[in-house]
């Protein structure tokens, strides 16, 4: 393989394109957004990810990576486009279909097509196959067809791209083998081969496993609050059992994966995926619980203001997709509360986004929603002077509470009942 074409230059496509380019392949990175194409061709990045800028610079300056608005003939095509949810919680497969249709005219006999986007099980055979075969080529005979889902952790994408085990599902065993030879260029983890639908299910169930376990932690946190005890103490002790690993509780689940992918199973199998649906609903209800707690803490002062710390869906990244912080902010606003948000990682977002001081100015309560490391460096004594009331609600049990209490803050932690506060 000499030349590959990657459809979608986002959190997955751009690191993958750069990785292949630095291994000597000629890579055409395709994106429908002209600004992304321009940025990448200028050796820059449009997303925040540690180490990404350096590898993109290396890839573009070597001439091996170039971005384009349109696909070109290549030995392999990788689809790394979004698979978000529609309002009705069904997978929005428009991007995958459009990217597949775009490569049809440039597919040649012997090429390899890889779906990397996380997709509802059955997508490759039922949705993609007819589109790709409209090229006149037959999968497994004239071209190779695989699903190679991505399981990287935002904030650690470049390390995990290389180090994680990789599941590759082939339309035929030969298809899987061909894709494994391509990924072996940079993957140091094990490459595990299976069939195409199994690979789709593996990826979706991994994220569903996480979602269900987080839902259990969140539900346990609510029970602890009702019991007047501390979830973190319960989790600490329960996790001393050799076969128990309670996850962390928090304000909800966000991101493009864990909060989205379980719906792919609910959508397809509503009769069977009952636990999965309940877990989704539990996690989606957490922002309501956060707001309910905030309202209890601030009472009903005129012109109440909340200082929200964090907009991103998890710590130390800039990705706000499906972030529970967005839901918390919207719900607070619906209650007539003014909200200001400080997030050192997020450069653009809702109008409430502002600097640290403006965020705390005249606030009646500070609510930590994202566990960014920078928040540990906030000096409680300094921000206390800006606030109207010294109230902190830590939804991730993340800050040094002694420090904040010493600065006169009334500290509340999600999952910690009144008696344990």
Ligand X SMILES: NC(=O)c1ccc[n+]([C@@H]2O[C@H](COP(=O)([O-])OP(=O)(O)OC[C@H]3O[C@@H](n4cnc5c(N)ncnc54)[C@H](O)[C@@H]3O)[C@@H](O)[C@H]2O)c1
> Given the complex with ligand X, which of 164 and 361 has the nearer CB atom?
164
**At how many degrees (to 10) do helices 324-334 and 274-298 cross?**
50
Q: Which residue has the tokens 């005890």?
A: 229
Residue pair 77/5 in contact (Cβ under 8 Å)? The answer is: yes
Q: In whole angstroms, give the CA distance from residue 314 to residue 415.
A: 18
Query: How far, in Å, are 330, 352, 370 from residue 337 at the CA level?
Result: 10, 12, 20
Shortest gap between Cβ of 203 and ligand X (angstroms)?
A: 7
Q: Is the separation of the CB atoms in 83 and 93 below 8 Å?
A: yes
Shortest reach from residue 7's CB to ligand X, in Å: 4
**Minimum CB–partner distance for residue 126 and ligand X (Å):** 17
User: Residue 59: CA atoms inside 13 Å, Cβ hemisphere, count?
Assistant: 29
Q: Classify residue 285 as exposed, middle or buried by CB count within 10 Å of its CB (0-12, 13-18, 19+).
A: middle
Active-site residue, from 5, 111, 257, 359? 257
Is the CB of 326 or the CB of 367 nearer to ligand X?
326
Compute the distance between CA of residue 19 and CA of residue 23 in angstroms, rounded to an integer: 6
**Choice among 203, 305, 314, 389 that is catalytic:** 203
Catalytic (active site) residue 257: yes
Q: Could you tell me which of 419, 382, 375 has the C-alpha nearest to residue 397?
A: 375
Q: Give the residue with the Cβ less far from ligand X, 163 or 355.
A: 163
Comparing CB distances to ligand X, the nearer of 99 and 286 is 99
Residue nearest to ligand X (CB): 10
Q: Where along the sequence are the contacts to ligand X (CB under 6 A)?
A: 7-13, 30-33, 36, 80-83, 95, 98-99, 102, 116-118, 150-152, 154, 256-257
Q: Rank residues 165 and 381 by Cβ distance to ligand X and give the closer one.
A: 165
CA distance 100 to 98: 5
* Paired strand residues for 368: 309, 394
Minimum distance, C-beta of residue 8 to ligand X, in the bound complex (Å): 3
The minimum distance between CB 55 and ligand X, in angstroms, equals 15
Catalytically active residues are 203, 257
């Amino acid at each position: 393989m000499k030349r590959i074409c990657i459809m979608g230059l986002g959190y997955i496509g751009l690191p993958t394109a750069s990785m292949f380019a630095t291994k000597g392949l000629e890579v055409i990175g395709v994106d429908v957004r002209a600004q992304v194409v321009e940025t990448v061709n200028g050796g820059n990045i449009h997303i925040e990810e540690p180490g990404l800028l350096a590898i993109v610079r290396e890839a573009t300056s070597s001439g091996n990576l170039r971005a384009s608005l349109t696909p070109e003939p290549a030995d392999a095509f990788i689809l790394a486009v979004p698979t978000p949810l529609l309002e009705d919680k069904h997978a929005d497969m428009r991007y995958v279909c459009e990217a597949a249709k775009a490569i049809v005219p440039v597919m040649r006999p012997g090429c390899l097509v890889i779906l990397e986007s996380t997709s509802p099980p059955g997508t490759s055979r039922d949705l993609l196959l007819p589109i790709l075969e409209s090229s006149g080529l037959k999968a497994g005979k004239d071209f190779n067809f695989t699903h190679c889902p991505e399981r990287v952790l935002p904030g650690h994408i470049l390390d995990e791209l290389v180090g994680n085990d990789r599941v590759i599902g082939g339309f035929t065993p030969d298809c899987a083998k061909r894709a494994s030879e391509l990924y072996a260029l940079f993957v140091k983890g094990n490459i595990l081969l299976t069939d195409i639908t199994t690979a789709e299910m593996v990826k979706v169930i991994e994220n569903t496993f996480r979602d269900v376990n987080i839902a259990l932690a969140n539900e346990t946190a609510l029970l602890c609050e009702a019991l007047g005890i501390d979830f973190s103490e319960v989790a600490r002790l329960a996790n001393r059992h050799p076969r128990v690993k309670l996850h962390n509780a928090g304000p909800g689940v966000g991101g493009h994966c864990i909060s989205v992918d379980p719906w792919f199973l609910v959508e397809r199998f509503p009769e069977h995926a009952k636990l999965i649906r309940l877990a989704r609903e539990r996690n989606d209800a957490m922002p309501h619980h956060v707001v309910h707690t905030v309202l209890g803490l601030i009472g009903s002062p005129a012109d109440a203001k909340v200082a929200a710390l964090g907009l991103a869906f998890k710590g130390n990244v800039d990705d706000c997709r499906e972030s529970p912080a967005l839901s918390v902010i919207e719900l607070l606003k619906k209650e007539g509360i003014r909200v200001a948000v400080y997030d050192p990682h997020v450069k653009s977002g809702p109008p409430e986004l502002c600097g640290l001081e403006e965020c705390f100015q005249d606030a009646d309560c500070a609510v930590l929603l994202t566990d960014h490391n920078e928040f540990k460096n906030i000096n409680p004594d300094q921000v206390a002077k800006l606030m109207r009331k010294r109230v902190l609600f830590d939804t991730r049990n993340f800050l040094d509470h002694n420090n904040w209490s010493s600065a006169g803050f009334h500290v509340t932690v999600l999952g910690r009942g009144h008696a344990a506060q």
